[in-house]
Structure 1
């Protein structure tokens, strides 16, 4: 174990509290972007539209959104990007969980349930017996909007749904065999009693219409998350840990935004770019995922909007560096055999540099050195993580983004327990340490 572990200073505690508030305000990828926009606009960042022409000058602070749940925020540096390159930090807005099917209502006996699909790789058992809500966006008729469709965010703040466990008397081996949920039959959460005479599929439409104060007929569709309504919290004898949903990967998203905004008072010469992608948990292959065109489009338009030509753009990329920020697996004392003994990382031990020889993570010796130097300048420790050789490794946006554009890249993240659980946990001091390290990366 690293010694000493980071203390939870008042500044670190305040930073962790800000993270929990960010998460609790952001129960879907669309809410994540809305929360990010609120932070950016308070700091004076202005919106750009992909359909408009961009004219950019040194010092400009801007953001652009694709389809509501992917965002790029950037500050144009005083130095030419041809000579200084761009410093990029990438994270993602989505988290594993349950997504509501288009015709969601189904009657089973006297009870109404909502059909759901599994999004990404959640630990399904952790969603049972929890106070669940719904959040996302709703598509509405809007004759004056492009294509005649507009969208609005929706959120049911209080507990609305539940996936109750089967009593142990009826499932005697649950503790020996583990909880196994039939994904089609047992997973749909219960909404309430069936209302006689109302088709099952219309219950949710009416709920959404009432929540948004619109007519049911105006609702054309929706994209809805099932989410845990329990707010984030500190825990431990010295309140040295935090627990919340979506720490993976809103911890990294919030840290990237904080690093960008915290360098505004003394902007570094290089252009700084923060990218928050949707769809990482399902492979990133979409119009707004890291394997889509958004990263390429934003970088090229920054170059062209600043008067560079195509050759200058490629030179800019050759000088640029990406930090792919996603969370990391902290050592779990109850499952010591799951880790490489030489690469255990610990809560409150500082940011983690993640390496994989098969390029599931993009880190190499040089890019690791770039981040190590950032940690040194920030005065925070760093840790090294490698997966056990006999276990498959996860991946991040790093390999996709780096391979598309030929960027030097390093994969980093903060250590956490219970990744992909409905309730994850992490060290209360680590978030501030990551923010400070990312700030120094932007300043390099």
Structure 2
């Protein structure tokens, strides 16, 4: 049960190397479940009992399951994010080194751990805007082979490397693409061939590096799983499964997956945008509800902000709070912060604890050390536009923001069960 769930989650992640691919994977699952796609640029025709989804920028998605009895309705919302730290390929993408190498010119996206990106097989994926006749078409591309690598400098040339090194992303982190037979222009030529189009018809590219290493289930009792992008596609996958399983005829169930959390969410498709508010408002109006009914619904709504949490590190247990610390395979994490980086409070914590009790799922609590700044997530950012009761939760993991992260084999299942109970 636990292993099969983790394997299914890892398969989803393997097919989702960028936020664009993650949303495409989500769409395929929703289409298979009979959900109807809505367009922000067209009038919505919606009805009680309907199932819908809408995307923005092809990298954020909101799905809705509308109850049949909405006399006193509310929104049950689960939110996660589709992006992960990586390296984005710049517009003028090729750099020549002494006529012998071609590197790809990249820049960091999000706050990644740099060291694990060295000496491992990488490739390129993302979206490309192609001109077809008189219109532009967005096309997904995933180069499905070992394509590039970021080589380390040998210890013989940097004897102090193991004493600590600050990486310069413009110098140290550029991937090697080709040797002396490679020429400038070969990269775009390769992308055109992947898409079956002409180079001249490529008008824009949002391309990123992705890690080619296969997911791995390991440990003395196969209790751990490692793969790319657990933060936050583990939560996105699990909460979608709970969303699909749960039904509440007196509410509108909402699954949201936002892009750009790793760079602050302040984009048109991020949690800091109007995307969530726009969708909730439009679905409410489309169902014939007036403004007063909409705001009454918001007042009784609830959101689970799902983003992974830091497990106690076996080599550095001192990095986490002595009491409010969490471990893999021991349950869903409720995150709290006195400075309000997380939305959890006494009320929302109590509500979620009861949800987990009903689901038979264990719960843990995380707070940062008081002398150490932690990260933030999308919950309190989204709340600046749609203010509802909210709790910040996640699944415990190691090596957050590495290209190869580690989590517990049981925790994906726990999240599915808890979100199914929430949506029910």
The TM-score by the shorter chain falls in which range?
A: over 0.9
Report whether the alignment pairs 1:408 with 2:389. Answer: yes
Displacement of 1:337 in angstroms is: 1.2
User: What is the alpha-carbon distance in structure 2 between the residues aligned to residue 373 and residue 255 of structure 1?
Assistant: 19
1:277 corresponds, among 230, 243, 258, to 258
Tell me which residue corresponds to 1:253.
Answer: 236
Report whether the alignment pairs 1:301 with 2:282. Answer: yes
User: What is the alpha-carbon distance in structure 1 between the residues aligned to residue 166 and residue 302 of structure 2?
Assistant: 43
User: What is the alpha-carbon distance in structure 2 between the residues aligned to residue 78 and residue 176 of structure 1?
Assistant: 63
Moved over 2 A (4+): 266-269
1:388 corresponds, among 364, 369, 373, to 369
Tell me which residue corresponds to 1:105.
Answer: 94
Tell me which residue corresponds to 2:194.
Answer: 211
1:425 corresponds, among 406, 412, 421, to 406
1:19 corresponds, among 4, 9, 13, to 9
Kept after mapping to 2: 8 A contact 1:355/1:361: yes
Return 331-340 or 409-418, whichever deviates more: 331-340
1:189 corresponds, among 175, 187, 194, to 175
* Structural mapping, 1:8-47, within 5 Å: 11-47=1-37
* Structural mapping, 1:30-429, within 5 Å: 30-80=20-70, 83-109=72-98, 110-144=100-134, 148-177=135-164, 179-195=165-181, 198=183, 200=184, 202-263=185-246, 266-429=247-410
Cα RMSD, aligned residues only: 1.2
Displacement of 1:403 in angstroms is: 2.5
Specify which structure has the higher proportion of helix: 1
Displacement of 1:211 in angstroms is: 0.8
CA-to-aligned-CA distance 1:310-340 (integer Å, 9 cap, x gap): 2211111111111100000000120111011
Kept after mapping to 2: 8 A contact 1:83/1:319: no
Q: Secondary structure at the match of 1:140?
A: strand
User: What is the alpha-carbon distance in structure 1 between the residues aligned to residue 291 and residue 186 of structure 2?
Assistant: 53
User: What is the alpha-carbon distance in structure 2 between the residues aligned to residue 336 and residue 226 of structure 1?
Assistant: 32
Displacement of 1:268 in angstroms is: 4.7
CA-to-aligned-CA distance 1:271-330 (integer Å, 9 cap, x gap): 100000001100001110011111111000110110011221111111111110000000
User: What is the alpha-carbon distance in structure 2 between the residues aligned to residue 125 and residue 59 of structure 1?
Assistant: 50
Give the gaps of 5 or more residues in structure 1.
1-10
Kept after mapping to 1: 8 A contact 2:74/2:250: no
Matched length: 423
User: What is the alpha-carbon distance in structure 1 between the residues aligned to residue 289 and residue 6 of structure 2?
Assistant: 40
Kept after mapping to 2: 8 A contact 1:125/1:180: no
User: What is the alpha-carbon distance in structure 2 between the residues aligned to residue 12 and residue 299 of structure 1?
Assistant: 34
Displacement of 1:240 in angstroms is: 0.9
Q: Secondary structure at the match of 1:301?
A: helix
TM-score normalised according to structure 2 size: 0.98
User: What is the alpha-carbon distance in structure 1 between the residues aligned to residue 153 and residue 355 of structure 2?
Assistant: 50
Q: Secondary structure at the match of 1:403?
A: coil
Displacement of 1:194 in angstroms is: 4.4
Displacement of 1:379 in angstroms is: 0.3
Displacement of 1:66 in angstroms is: 0.7
User: What is the alpha-carbon distance in structure 2 between the residues aligned to residue 231 and residue 268 of structure 1?
Assistant: 41
TM-score normalised according to structure 1 size: 0.93
